[in-house]
Structure 1
Amino acid sequence: MDRYARWNTLLEILASSGRITVEEAAQRLHVSQATIRRDFDQLSQQQMITRTRGGAVAGGVSYDLPLRYKTAKRVEEKHRIGSAAAGLVSSGMVVGLNGGTTITEVARALAMRTDLVATSGTTPLTIVTNALNIANEMIVRPHIKVVVVGGVVRPQSYELIGPLAAPILREITLDMVFLGVDAIDVKLGATAHHEGEAAINQLMAARARKVVIIADGSKLGGHAFARICPIERVHTLITDTSVPAERTAEFSAAGIKVLRA
């Protein structure tokens, strides 16, 4: 287990239990106590936890961990979903991407699509995003036009949110938008934990001809605080093969195209 995977696990333990000792953490993660002490010290320096004598307690930890600590989870599923999503894109499209680890995999898969390179007389692929990490990866791809909306940076997801993003989004049209969500339900629609992210995602969905929801199996059938869009607005759902057939059948019955990657 690498350092970020350990940190992710430690933060999740503290989010659920509130505290843990060095000895308990070492046993659960199958590493030495010296390694755990170093991990605790580094997380404490970043103000993610509070060190105690012999352990640590939750500091600013919540359900919404910073993006860099989420990358170690469900890696293979996210990679397959990203590849499947990129396969829906055609040359010359204007594509919207929000933030998150799975959407980052979509962006990387799009960047590898050499067939999307514009030729004489054709239009390049255009990516519109509010995620700074995705824009950073895409900007070095000369065959892709990158448009970044304005806003205030949300450190947890590297996304730009707030009213400054709205003027740009209201003036453009997207052929397709890929939205990573915290939950999607047949009755409640697509939702996010943070209302600021949900508001920008809602506007991106409203400006798109097709809305594609990207969600691994853990997010299907759940709900979060703020709604992004109703289920009727969703054209396609891309998820992983861990989802039971009866669960995906609910979305198919609602008129949504379901792809399992």
Structure 2
Amino acid sequence: MLTLQRKQHLLEILERDGQIVAKSLSERLGLSEDTIRRDLRQLAKEGLLQRVHGGALPASPAAAPFVERQRISSEAKPAIGRAAAAMIQPGQVVFIDGGTTAVQLARQLPQTLRATVVTHSPSIAIELVAHPHIEVVMIGGRLFKHSIVGVGAAAIEAIGQIRADLYFMGVCSLHPEAGISTGDYEEACVKRALCHAALKTVVLASPEKLDTASPYQIVPLTQIGEIVVNTGVAEALIAPYRKMGIAVTLA
């Protein structure tokens, strides 16, 4: 089998099975593990999958630029935003992450809600400029242009001075084995700090992010309180989280 044919076959297996285990696949195809791993490394460099220990998982479409991500799951994200907005109680202090799903959450906050939103996302702050009763606290730092959020030591230091009731986390990838991950190291550090500074973390997971992986883990799934997903998501994709004791809200 030629290299190009072999790599295409690997992608077909990944799409069908949702993962590749290098050892078992090498035995099934009669190829060396080194050959399989080399192909996986090359495919990962091309952004076609995400390498993990022992094999590979699908790469997240959330690696695309912000403007392009706005067109992905455009019907699911407002529904997720509405469900998340309904969780906020009057008087609470809430962290809202950056990202396209989080923008939908900000848009769904009722005009009568009195609360404080802390965010490192200029996009979220702008959405709430006209809200009559929400106090907005901005976290600064270096602008990570891909997600339009502040990152770096200054952001993490500021987050450490706040205690929030809820953190609505946007993610690139969510997988029952690989956990919660994103594509940038500094962004992962900021999300981790936000999670540690909140009493409860709620993950906003639009359909394209489920069962995918990105390079940098944020926190273990044990630190997550709830996941909000679209009501059309297959039960098989969310059953592992329920089994772990994580609440799942269908939007």
TM > 0.5 between the two? yes
User: Which sits farther off after the overlay, 248-257 or 179-188?
Assistant: 179-188
Deviations 1:1-44 (A, max 9, x none): xxxxxxxxxxxxxxxxxxxxxxxxxxxxxxxxxxxxxxxxxxxx
Q: CA deviation at 1:63?
A: 7.0
- TM-score of the superposition, structure 1-length normalised? 0.70
Deviations 1:155-192 (A, max 9, x none): 22111111110121101101000011011122332110
Letter of the structure 2 residue corresponding to residue 212 of structure 1: V
Q: Any conservation in 1 of the 2:173–2:209 contact (CA below 8 Å)?
A: yes
Q: CA deviation at 1:235?
A: 0.5
Is 1:215 the counterpart of 2:212? The answer is: no
Q: Any conservation in 1 of the 2:203–2:224 contact (CA below 8 Å)?
A: yes
Determine helix, strand or coil for the equivalent of 1:139. coil
Q: CA-atom RMSD, angstroms?
A: 1.5
For residues 175 and 228 of structure 1, the distance between their equivalents in structure 2, rounded to whole angstroms, comes to 19
Q: Any conservation in 2 of the 1:193–1:226 contact (CA below 8 Å)?
A: yes
Determine helix, strand or coil for the equivalent of 2:249. strand
Q: Any conservation in 2 of the 1:98–1:180 contact (CA below 8 Å)?
A: yes
Q: How does 1:71-82 map to 2 (within 5 A)?
A: 71-82=70-81
Determine helix, strand or coil for the equivalent of 2:241. helix
Unaligned stretches of 5+ in structure 2?
1-60
Letter of the structure 1 residue corresponding to residue 219 of structure 2: C
Letter of the structure 2 residue corresponding to residue 220 of structure 1: L
- Which residue does 1:173 correspond to in 2? 163
Identity %: 30
Q: Any conservation in 1 of the 2:206–2:230 contact (CA below 8 Å)?
A: yes
For residues 65 and 75 of structure 1, the distance between their equivalents in structure 2, rounded to whole angstroms, comes to 14
Q: Any conservation in 2 of the 1:98–1:130 contact (CA below 8 Å)?
A: yes
For residues 92 and 138 of structure 2, the distance between their equivalents in structure 1, rounded to whole angstroms, comes to 16
Q: Any conservation in 1 of the 2:111–2:131 contact (CA below 8 Å)?
A: no
Q: Any conservation in 2 of the 1:186–1:221 contact (CA below 8 Å)?
A: yes
User: Which of 120, 129, 135 is residue 130 of structure 1 equivalent to?
Assistant: 120
Is 1:257 the counterpart of 2:242? The answer is: no
- Which residue does 1:109 correspond to in 2? 108
Letter of the structure 1 residue corresponding to residue 216 of structure 2: A
Work out which structure has the larger RCO, using CA pairs closer than 8 Å and 6 or more positions apart in sequence: 2
- Which residue does 2:152 correspond to in 1? 162
Query: How many corresponding residue pairs?
Result: 191
- Which residue does 1:206 correspond to in 2? 196
Q: Any conservation in 2 of the 1:98–1:179 contact (CA below 8 Å)?
A: yes
Q: Any conservation in 1 of the 2:63–2:172 contact (CA below 8 Å)?
A: no
In structure 2, the CA distance between the partners of 1:130 and 1:260, relative to structure 1 (3 Å rule), is same
For residues 139 and 115 of structure 1, the distance between their equivalents in structure 2, rounded to whole angstroms, comes to 14
For residues 244 and 118 of structure 2, the distance between their equivalents in structure 1, rounded to whole angstroms, comes to 28
For residues 63 and 74 of structure 1, the distance between their equivalents in structure 2, rounded to whole angstroms, comes to 11
Unaligned stretches of 5+ in structure 1?
1-61, 118-124
Q: Any conservation in 1 of the 2:62–2:209 contact (CA below 8 Å)?
A: no
Deviations 1:65-106 (A, max 9, x none): 321222122111001000001011100111101111011101
Q: CA deviation at 1:203?
A: 0.2
Runs of 4+ residues deviating >6 angstroms: none
For residues 73 and 174 of structure 2, the distance between their equivalents in structure 1, rounded to whole angstroms, comes to 18
